[in-house]
Amino acid sequence: MLESAWWLGEITGNSALTRLQYLSKMFNSRELPAWEAVVFTTRYDDGSRTICPLASGEVVVDIRPRIDVPGDTASWTEVSCHAAFETLAGLPSYENFPELSLGLPFIELTGDEFFGWIEKRGFDPPRFWKTTATVDVAQASSDNSIDLQAAPTFPSTGTGAKKRAVQRAYRLLLSNSMIHDGTTSQERNDLIWAKLRTEGHKTLPDKRTIERAIKDLNEC
């Protein structure tokens, strides 16, 4: 739901890319296998054929979601891409854009923005924070952040931005089974670096930093 709210512009968060930049990146990469779950359409191009003949002679209908965008990316604006944002708000990234889902869930919200959003939408405050401790929202907004997927507690402030970024990436990759018992340390590091790149990190942690961050996480 928070991911949907981000696409709709209801929340912004601390993101390396704006929603317009994310959309442009997706459109420019639309020929790659990672984005084949949807079809982009413009006034000049209606996308892939809706009727697809198979080698066996059968004919199938292409029912992939279709995202309508303006034709020239150079002229795109938040207003002209409104329809595309509304479509994306209804398409969970983990189902339709696995590559994009490595970055979107870690867009951070301040406590003020998160609680302001749930108040505006008429939602009850999450009860799980009440069971862990009494949260001072003013303190939370300055010292902590909330993942876009709303983790059950405020993330730890940690000892540094790189360490926190590594730990968030590792947890997500682990939960998606992209890191498992058979994953080598080099494969794990490559996955973490790839995930951090999608977030816009220009300076990546070295192997030792990754090892220490994961070790600290496992000891918590």
Q: Position of tokens 């928070």? A: 2
Structure tokens at 181: 């018992």
Does the structure show a pLDDT above 70 at 136?
no
Strands 108-109 and 146-147, by their bridges, are antiparallel
Tens of pLDDT, residue by residue over 24-38, are 888 888 888 777 788
pLDDT for the residue numbered 37: 80
- Average pLDDT over the chain reads 74
Q: How confident is the model at residue 158 (pLDDT cuts 50, 70, 90)?
A: very low
pLDDT for the residue numbered 46: 72
Measured at the CA of 142, the angle between CA 139 and CA 146, to 5 degrees, comes to: 95
- Among 116-120, 144-148, 167-171, the range scoring the smallest mean pLDDT is 144-148
Tens of pLDDT, residue by residue over 191-212, are 888 888 777 777 888 899 999 9
Half-sphere exposure of residue 141, counting CA atoms within 13 Å on the CB side? 8
Integer CA distances (angstroms), 132 to 15, 31, 108, 127, 197, in order? 28, 46, 21, 9, 33
Contact 150, 2 (CB under 8 A): yes
* Domain positions in the chain: 2-98, 106-219
- Other Cβ atoms closer than 10 A to 101: 19
Amino acid, res. 196:
L
Integer CA distances (angstroms), 136 to 142, 210, 217, in order? 10, 31, 25
Does the structure show a pLDDT above 50 at 143?
no
Does the structure show a pLDDT above 70 at 48?
no
Q: Position of tokens 């498992």? A: 180
Give the residue with greater pLDDT, 154 vs 18.
Answer: 18
The mean per-residue pLDDT over the stretch 33-50 comes to 76
Q: How confident is the model at residue 140 (pLDDT cuts 50, 70, 90)?
A: very low
DSSP single-letter state for residue 100: G
Q: How far apart are the first and last CA of the chain?
A: 29
Measured at the CA of 91, the angle between CA 97 and CA 103, to 5 degrees, comes to: 40
pLDDT for the residue numbered 149: 41
The mean per-residue pLDDT over the stretch 57-65 comes to 73
Tens of pLDDT, residue by residue over 98-130, are 666 666 666 777 777 877 887 787 777 665 444
pLDDT for the residue numbered 78: 92
d(CA 192, CA 210): 9
pLDDT for the residue numbered 169: 85
pLDDT for the residue numbered 55: 66
Structure tokens at 85: 């944002």
Contact 70, 81 (CB under 8 A): yes
Structure tokens at 74: 């150079």
Residues making up the chain, counted from first to last: 220
Q: How confident is the model at residue 141 (pLDDT cuts 50, 70, 90)?
A: very low
pLDDT for the residue numbered 83: 93
